[in-house]
Amino acid sequence: MTEVQRHAAAAGFLHVLHTSPEVYNEWSHTPQDDAAKVGELIRRHVGLAEAPGKADLHAMAAYVDSHLKHDATEFHKAHPGGPHHVGIVYLMQQS
């Protein structure tokens, strides 16, 4: 995907999640560490020809974090129990 496509897909999917309880329910039951399943979910609901891959999902999440903060905050207010990142695994190491 190009950067423009990633930005459009990220914004579109965030909007769909916020406005469609059915898609939100499906997304909240999708394993967020399974990039293939998350990508396919986004592909179907945003109307993409191909599912975003793992690198695309990371770029999309970074775009949401950096440019769609207000929209993401409003979404999380409406859905406080929902996942906060789409298809990204965060690993933590203790010393």
Over residues 63-83, the pLDDT tens digits come to 888 776 656 566 656 656 665
Query: Is pLDDT above 50 for 13?
Result: yes
Q: Is the pTM of this model over 0.75?
A: no
Distance CA 44, CA 7 (A): 17
Span of 32-41, 45-54, 80-89 with lowest mean pLDDT: 80-89
HSE (CB half, 13 Å, CA atoms) of 14?
25
Query: Is pLDDT above 70 for 29?
Result: yes
Which is higher by pLDDT, 43 or 93?
A: 43
